[in-house]
Structure 1
Amino acid sequence: MTDTMEQQIVRGISQAELDQFNRDGYTIARGLFDAEEIERFREHYMQLNAEGTHDGDYAGVEGGGEFDPLKQYPRMIHMHRWDDLSREFLLDPRVFDALNALLGGDPYAVQTMLYFKPPGARGQAVHQDNFYLRAEPSTCCAAWLALDVCDADNGALMVVPGSQTWPLLCTVKADTSASFTDVTVPLPDGVSPVTMTMQPGDMLFFNGQVVHGSTPNSTDDRFRRSLIGHYIQGDAEKVSKFYSPMLRRDGSEYSIGISEGGGSCGVWVDRDGVPVIEDQGLEGNKLEHE
């Protein structure tokens, strides 16, 4: 086998990327989407935002207390259920092929999310995705696409390498002056997240147990937009009802058992910790947050 073949082992994932995913719980596929595709995504979601609220926005421009940039640019969730381009992204063969290589088999697609993260917006305290998805007995995996340059200044995603081996951690109260959600997980002494510096078109894949989050966007003029697909491993037997029905690679629907708890990936709160809008996931998720 040539060096080139060794580096590009299966379906676009190199041996180095596979090794990093297995070791650290994450890897970045650089330039998986091209500049034309990224511009199409940016224009599309900015237009959807300008049109007003849609199903799954979970926020709006009114209410919520003091000024918050996220009121004008609330995140979107489950767009694939009503938006063709979002569904196309979620089922993109390149993403499925990469996940197949990383996970050892095709996953099921369960969620889309769009974070605008405008200048001045708070970040999200460190957390684990499977706290919300509750895929059992395995876990979920995120495919996080950068639509802008992502760095420490505009609140790039940060991950804790190796935390894919951790169990789901008990949550504690977050600092809502810096996080738009009100819970976080404590980190052991000496453990710090690593900033994922990314270019538009790069895609970060990370295991659902991996602890990750972001700091506020401290810039005056730069968005940190990201388009995310969430998937669960093909051997999962249960998932939170918020994520059902799931989709196979071909777009057909599939259902499995319902796990307890879970929710919509955090409740948006103001800087005093008061919910801006109620979590539309399961009641059990609210109880575990209290």
Structure 2
Amino acid sequence: MGTVEQRVDAVCRAAEAGDVDAKRELGRLLCLLPVDKQRWPGEVELSEALAARPDDPESAVLLAARLVQQMDLIYSAFARELEPDELGELDGLQPPTDPRGPDIGHVSGTHRPLDRSDPCGSGDGSGADQAAVQARDPKSIELAEVRLELARKRREATELYERVLAAHPAHPAARAGLAALRDVPAAAFTSGGYSHYLVQGDFWSGSSGGRERLVVADAEELRWACEYWFAELSAFRIYELSVHTAGERVSTINLEALARNADDSFDWSRIDIPPLPTTPLPPGHPVRVDGSAIQYGWGLLQLG
């Protein structure tokens, strides 16, 4: 993990100095980390990178994927309140619009030295997405506001993907991202033969719970992200690490069966992660697993 931590520390400093490429890379890495009660890591940095360089396709697809992850969480939290047919009518809702396109420059973040509990010190909540955070508690947000928030996110993500495809028609992550957002049939959702890792964990508290998922294409970045993700092991009930190629699961590791440290934590430096057999999944490219689209990076669904 040291190498990735050093890279994060370096891009934090470079991003603070105004390096747009470093800002984008920092945003990508932070997208691998779990959302906390205040923010979605990486969203602020990607918004700033795209505001500084609006024609950057990589920042655009990563930010779009982050928006779709937030939509997925809201959908799962309000599945009982939203009618199935209603989900396909979001395009008809008209939240406040900006003629310049998606509002991608309205948030700003600050960076502090790398901290184990908060890489780059990247948030005081200034980049919080309140609807997605409040989706953890459906009673805390009005259903009308949910519909408008979903419509806004859907419109912004669609515009980001379409902006990329207008300049780069063959961009694989943008093509797959737009297909996943529009929920096209699985046969039309091509993976390009890419490989990726998927880590999943389910946790429960009474009759409700959540499913956290991490899609990543680098073994060392997986180790680094999981050092943060599995900070509270007692909350989880199921651990699984799988390798996927071209949409097919080729191997699975039951993490519960692996040895733990004295404090019941995993020593990720000692866990043997198999290499990816084909070209790694491009950042921001969604995947299909068991018929469902999953976005690059960390995401959450509500269960129960």
TM-score, length-normalised on structure 2? 0.24
Which one has more relative contact order, counting CA pairs under 8 Å at least 6 apart?
1
* Bigger helix fraction: 2
